[in-house]
Amino acid sequence: MRYAYYPGCSLHSTSREYDLSVRAVCGRLGIELAEIPNWVCCGATPAHVSMHLLAIALPVKNLWAARGMNGRQVLTCCAACYSRLKAANQEMIEDEETRNEINQLLGIDYRGEVRVRHLLEVLLEDVGLESLRNQASKKMEGLSVASYYGCLLVRPPKVMQFDDPEQPHSMDDLLKAVGAKTIDWPYNIECCGASLSLTRTEIVLRLCRDILADAKARGAECIAVACPLCQSNLDLRQREAEKAYGVTFDMPILYFTQIIGLALGAGIRELGLNRHMVNPVPLVKSKGLL
């Protein structure tokens, strides 16, 4: 299985542990990642509210480069990248005026023919739960996880066309396949505050407090995420939230690939587990997962 890989800015910088764990998991499952050469930022969350053409042109530039690799499938892991690539692709398919303008701007002829997929999709549809279950050398039994999808991964449904927008289960299904116990909770698609972390930190602290408190109250020992910004807010801002509200969570925030990677036999540094603010290693060791 070979895919054009779009890591995006976060996985090459602040969320390096996500990229490490993605490569560790894919390598063990026979998924070949061919990184798109000279890729550029997808525009993330700000571009589409500042300049419409730029918000389409940036993702399309990457999709066109992937097409040039004789690829018809792009795999990405960041929820924001996934959202922007899919939104741009859909517009290039459905809006002729925008398509002509973008193609003229970039000097290309792209019509949305590259399929954008998240690693969650690839693991579910191309690898399969049974195959993942069979390849897991260590079962995550005893580990209670809250799967946090956030607000971008499965919405808006017309664009994403992946999982249930109100009751997603893809991440839960994968984690259960490697033996983890996932909890049922209402905060799994709530917003963490996203980039307000930089401009309205108090809002992010409140939102993260609510998410962390409910997960802990329902018995979660860690939270699994698929978004670098969600991970950053819940992990990096966790101590601030504890101080602001006089509570203690001590809740590790792991990428779902790190949990699957443990099940496949990968180690701490290979998965970037040593790079978190809330140290997950004590929890992992207490469960005998190393």
What are 80-125's pLDDT values in tens digits?
999 999 999 999 999 999 999 999 999 999 999 999 999 999 999 9
CB atoms within 10 A of CB 51: 13
Query: What is the rounded distance in angstroms from the CA atom of residue 196 to the CA atom of residue 205?
Result: 10
227, 165: one domain: yes
Reduced to 3 states (helix: H, G, I; strand: E, B; else coil), residue 63 is helix
6, 37: one domain: yes
How do residues 237-268 score in pLDDT, each as one tens digit?
999 999 999 999 999 999 999 999 999 999 99
Task: Taking residues 154-160, report their average pLDDT.
Answer: 94
105, 216: one domain: no
Determine which helix (DSSP H) or strand (DSSP E) holds 45, and give its type and residue range.
Answer: none
141, 280: one domain: yes
Confidence of residue 281 (pLDDT cuts 50, 70, 90): very high
Query: What is the rounded distance in angstroms from the CA atom of residue 230 to the CA atom of residue 18?
Result: 12
Does the structure show a pLDDT above 80 at 234?
Answer: yes
User: Would the CA dihedral through 62, 68, 72, 77 be positive or negative?
Assistant: negative
Beta carbons within 8 Å of 150's beta carbon, 6+ residues apart: 79, 189, 190, 191, 192, 225, 226, 227, 229, 230
Residue 130 lies in a domain: no
Cis peptide before 46 (omega within 30 of 0): no
What DSSP state is assigned to residue 127? I
Domain count, the chain: 2
159, 95: one domain: no
Residue 282 lies in a domain: yes
Residue 129 lies in a domain: no
191, 251: one domain: yes
Cβ proximity of 8 and 81 under 8 Å: yes
Confidence of residue 46 (pLDDT cuts 50, 70, 90): confident
pTM score of the predicted model: 0.97
26, 99: one domain: yes
Residue 268 lies in a domain: yes
Query: Could you tell me the maximum CA-CA distance found in the chain, to the nearest angstrom?
Result: 58
Query: What is the rounded distance in angstroms from the CA atom of residue 193 to the CA atom of residue 1?
Result: 36
Q: Write the CATH number for 195.
A: 3.40.50.11810
- The residue from 93, 119, 145 where one domain ends is 119
142, 281: one domain: yes
| Mean pLDDT value across the chain | 95
User: Alpha carbon of 146 to those of 162, 171, 212: distances in Å?
Assistant: 20, 10, 10
Domain that holds residue 234: 137-286
Lookup: tokens for 198: 């930089």
Cα end-to-end distance, the chain, whole Å: 28
Cβ proximity of 223 and 150 under 8 Å: no
Confidence of residue 199 (pLDDT cuts 50, 70, 90): confident
Residue 277 lies in a domain: yes
Reduced to 3 states (helix: H, G, I; strand: E, B; else coil), residue 173 is helix
260, 157: one domain: yes
Sheet holding 115-118, edge to edge: 32-35, 2-6, 73-76, 115-118
152, 240: one domain: yes
- pLDDT for position 260: 98
Cβ proximity of 105 and 58 under 8 Å: no
- pLDDT for position 1: 87
Residue 76 lies in a domain: yes
Cβ proximity of 85 and 93 under 8 Å: no
Does the structure show a pLDDT above 90 at 289?
Answer: no
- pLDDT for position 110: 97
- The residue from 119, 146, 173 where one domain ends is 119
Does the structure show a pLDDT above 90 at 201?
Answer: yes
Q: Torsion over CA of 47, 53, 58 and 60, rounded to 10 degrees?
A: 140
Per mean pLDDT, which range of 18-27, 34-43, 52-61, 192-201 is the poorest?
192-201
Query: What is the rounded distance in angstroms from the CA atom of residue 256 to the CA atom of residue 278?
Result: 16
Q: Write the CATH number for 33.
A: 1.20.1050.140
Query: What is the rounded distance in angstroms from the CA atom of residue 40 to the CA atom of residue 61?
Result: 8
Residue 15 lies in a domain: yes
97, 150: one domain: no
User: Alpha carbon of 27 to those of 22, 128, 145: distances in Å?
Assistant: 8, 16, 24
103, 166: one domain: no
- pLDDT for position 34: 96
- The residue from 119, 150, 183 where one domain ends is 119
Residue 126 lies in a domain: no
